[in-house]
Chain A
Amino acid sequence: QKEVEQDPGPLSVPEGAIVSLNCTYSNSAFQYFMWYRQYSRKGPELLMYTYSSGNKEDGRFTAQVDKSSKYISLFIRDSQPSDSATYLCAMSGASNFGNEKLTFGTGTRLTIIP
Chain B
Amino acid sequence: SAVISQKPSRDICQRGTSLTIQCQVDSQVTMMFWYRQQPGQSLTLIATANQGSEATYESGFVIDKFPISRPNLTFSTLTVSNMSPEDSSIYLCSHSAYSYNEQFFGPGTRLTVL
Contact = CB atoms under 8 A, between A and B. Distances in A.
Contacts of B99: 95, 100
A88 B42 contact: yes
Interface residues on B, range: 20 to 34
Interface string B76-107: 00000000000000001010000111111111
A102 B100 contact: yes
Chain A interface extent, by class = 20 to 34
A104 B44 CA distance: 8
Given A92-B100, A95-B99, A102-B100, A45 B105 contact: yes
A34 B105 contact: no
Interface of A: 4, 6, 8, 32, 34, 36, 41-46, 49, 88, 90, 92, 95, 100-107
